Amino acid sequence: MSKIDIRSLNYEELSSQIEELGLPGFRTAQIYSWLYEKGVESFSEMSNISKPLRDRLSEIYEIKNCVIDTKLVSEIDGTVKYLYRLRENEYIECVVMKYKYGYSVCISTQLGCKMGCKFCASAIGGFQRNLTAGEMLSEIYTAQRDLNIKISHIVLMGTGEPLDNFGNVMRFIELVTDKRGLNISMRHISLSTCGVVPKIYELADKKLGLTLSVSLHAPNDEIRSQTMPVNLKWNIQELLKACKYYAKTTSRRISFEYAMIDGFNDSEKCAYELAERLGGMLCHINLIPVNNVRENNYVRSGNERIKKFISVLESRNLTVTVRRTLGSDINASCGQLRAGKSRQNQARQG
């Protein structure tokens, strides 16, 4: 029988497990603190619990951990990129960035991704499986322990589509914001989606107060559908309707991600069209010069084109930023390290 993934349980669930085992109630707080506040990797670290009880627990439960396979540290800005191994042939990426306000971690939510965006390295190799809440938490504990730091901000922008793993991601958010655990503020969490419309409504209705980023990348359906298959299911009109609902329901402004691809979506005409569509919305636009991925041939827009694009948007009173490139010397963008691993494996098998 497979063991229970103990670090995906919330306090109430852990408490009823403890009760079922016939253990005194105070054990819940003890074990919870080891798992969620201290982020232990094994039961043997739970020093205020007797050896026989630890052995009993480890027969029933497992603590899912990430093992560091590769670690790259940027010489430019100290950004750290990890390739973690979960099990054989299961690799995920996680990036830690240092900002003035603290340490931010970019975590993966799935092994691979089903969404198939053409510019994204995460689509390479397809989809393996969803990550559990405990595995997502472990990405953070592993980095904290390795770097001896405390993470204060989280972005769900690594490999995977968070809204395609909705239940586990919601559980992760519940656990990571729990005062008895990592106690990360909801305001310090951003979730990025390619536009899974029904789930945007569901998320809005939860009124969590986290920041929603939406990967828009195009001003019209014709351009968007060429690179983002999700647009064939929910087009821009439906997506923006859901975004407006989100902004209205939560009073939080949406952040639209827009990867600037040379000659594809970066013309002045595109900028005017984008401004037209987003005008009057509670939002922010984040331009990302597209990262080159070996499997595709997208070229990032030059500075002049980016500047022109910004000036059009600003002339229409939209707020725009260009994403700072962190860790450019270590390939710190989405899925590239993992894709490298999969290339290696293919080469070995081939």
Q: Quote the CA–CA distance of 130 and 267 in Å, as a whole number.
A: 37
Amino acid at position 168, single letter: N
User: Does the protein bind ligand SAH through residue 192 (CB under 6 A)?
Assistant: yes
Residue 304 CB, shortest distance to ligand SAH, in Å, is 19
Which of 41, 88, 93, 94 is labelled catalytic? Answer: 93
Residue 264 CB, shortest distance to ligand SAH, in Å, is 12
| Segment contacting ligand SAH by CB under 6 A, of 28-36, 125-133, 171-179, 286-294 | 286-294
Q: Quote the CA–CA distance of 158 and 163 in Å, as a whole number.
A: 13
User: Does the protein bind ligand SAH through residue 139 (CB under 6 A)?
Assistant: no
37 as an active site residue: the answer is no
Interaction pattern, residues 80-109, with ligand SAH; x per rule: CB under 6 A: ------------------------------
- Report whether 234 contacts 197 (CB < 8 A): yes
In the window 145-164, what residues touch ligand SAH (CB under 6 A)? 157, 161
Q: Which of 225, 215, 318 is nearest to 276 (CA)?
A: 318
User: Does the protein bind ligand SAH through residue 135 (CB under 6 A)?
Assistant: no
Which of 120, 194, 270, 334 is labelled catalytic? Answer: 334
CA distances 285 to 44, 94, 280, 319, 323, Å, are 47, 24, 13, 6, 10
| Segment contacting ligand SAH by CB under 6 A, of 18-26, 83-91, 289-297, 302-310 | 289-297
CA distances 284 to 105, 311, 320, Å, are 21, 14, 6
Question: Which of 57, 86, 120, 140 forms a contact with ligand SAH (CB under 6 A)?
Answer: 120
User: Does the protein bind ligand SAH through residue 259 (CB under 6 A)?
Assistant: yes
93 as an active site residue: the answer is yes
DSSP calls for 52-104: HHHHHHHHHEE----EEEEEEE-TTT--EEEEEESSTT-EEEEEEEEETTEEE
Question: Which of 119, 172, 256, 264 forms a contact with ligand SAH (CB under 6 A)?
Answer: 119
Q: Which residues are catalytically annotated? A: 93, 334
